[in-house]
């Protein structure tokens, strides 16, 4: 197994050669879903747990419903994600939101965006955020720290925009654009808009 250790500062490989069975848990989004197999059959074993009727094994004291204002980024097929390079929260709305809306996706963030600009924690991708596996992940002004990569590197297609050509995000990116995101994102948004208009015409 490979898992973060020492508060996420290192990744440890754990081998358990001697003991069986072994058990491990994985976070949602880590594994790719297999297509449904309708032919599969499972053995049904009747098991008597000796539960008695009307016995109160669980007592519900209160039901607290937390309603989130945000769509779960783990369900999004396309994520346009921002990091410290976005400079402030307003720029997420000004630059990332229009592109995400055009593509039918959601906005997400690195932890720097959450800690520094007040982006909601629910939108954080990474080891202490959410693990995502969208079809397209556009990383804007995100350096690609190991804790961030842990949450998004299994995305189908990764596009990184960063002014630093040595940023580690480019190691996992399928396409990289080196330059100022404040110039690149509006151009990209315009291009997507034009392509969508062309498609709608034809």
Count of residues near ligand FAD by CB under 6 A: 31
As measured in angstroms, the least distance from the Cβ of 8 to ligand FAD is: 3
Q: Does 127 bind ligand FAD (CB under 6 A)?
A: yes
Q: Does 166 bind ligand FAD (CB under 6 A)?
A: no
**Cβ pair 29, 153 in contact under 8 A:** no
Q: What CA–CA distances, in Å, run from 98 to 107, 189, 192, 193?
A: 10, 7, 11, 10
Q: Does 85 bind ligand FAD (CB under 6 A)?
A: yes
Of the candidate residues 96, 142, 160, 172, the single one contacting ligand FAD (CB under 6 A): 142
Q: What CA–CA distances, in Å, run from 30 to 97, 127, 176?
A: 26, 11, 24
Of 174, 162, 27, 198, nearest to 84 by C-alpha is 162
Q: Does 74 bind ligand FAD (CB under 6 A)?
A: no
CA end-to-end distance (rounded Å), the chain: 50
The four Cα atoms 162, 164, 168, 174 give a dihedral, to 10 degrees, of: 50
Q: Does 8 bind ligand FAD (CB under 6 A)?
A: yes
Q: Does 110 bind ligand FAD (CB under 6 A)?
A: yes
User: What is the DSSP-derived secondary structure letter of residue 125?
Assistant: B
Tokens matching residue 123:
């939108």
Of residues 46 and 181, the one with the C-beta less far from ligand FAD: 181
Q: Does 111 bind ligand FAD (CB under 6 A)?
A: yes
Q: Quick one: which segment of 31-39, 57-65, 100-108, 144-152 binds ligand FAD (CB under 6 A)?
A: 144-152
How far is it, in rounded angstroms, from Cα 36 to Cα 61?
Answer: 38
Q: Does 11 bind ligand FAD (CB under 6 A)?
A: no
Of the candidate residues 102, 182, 186, 192, the single one contacting ligand FAD (CB under 6 A): 182
As measured in angstroms, the least distance from the Cβ of 112 to ligand FAD is: 3
List CB contacts of 84: < 8 A, sequence separation 6 or more.
Answer: 110, 112, 113, 116, 141, 142, 143
Q: Does 106 bind ligand FAD (CB under 6 A)?
A: no
Q: Does 128 bind ligand FAD (CB under 6 A)?
A: yes
Tokens matching residue 75:
């369900």
Q: Which residues bind ligand FAD (CB under 6 A)?
A: 7-9, 83-85, 110-113, 124-129, 141-143, 145, 147-148, 151, 161-164, 167, 180-182
């Amino acid at each position: 197994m490979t898992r973060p250790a020492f508060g996420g500062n290192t990744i440890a490989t754990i081998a358990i050669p001697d003991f069986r069975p072994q058990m491990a848990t994985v976070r949602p989004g880590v594994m790719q879903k297999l297509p449904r197999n309708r032919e599969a059959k499972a053995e049904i074993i009747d098991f008597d747990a000796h539960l008695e009727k009307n016995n109160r094994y669980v007592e519900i004291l209160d039901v607290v419903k937390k309603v989130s204002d945000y769509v779960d980024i783990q369900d999004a097929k396309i994520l346009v994600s921002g990091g410290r390079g976005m400079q402030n929260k307003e720029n997420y709305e000004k630059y990332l939101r229009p592109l995400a809306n055009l593509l039918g996706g959601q906005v997400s963030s690195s932890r720097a965006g959450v800690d520094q600009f007040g982006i909601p924690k629910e939108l954080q991708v990474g080891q202490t955020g959410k693990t995502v596996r969208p079809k397209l992940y556009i990383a804007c002004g995100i350096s690609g720290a190991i804790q961030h990569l842990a949450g998004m590197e299994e995305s189908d297609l990764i596009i990184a925009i960063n002014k630093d050509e040595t940023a580690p995000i480019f190691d996992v990116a399928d396409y990289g654009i080196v330059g100022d995101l404040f110039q690149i994102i509006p151009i990209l948004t315009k291009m997507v808009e034009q392509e969508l208009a062309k498609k709608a015409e034809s």
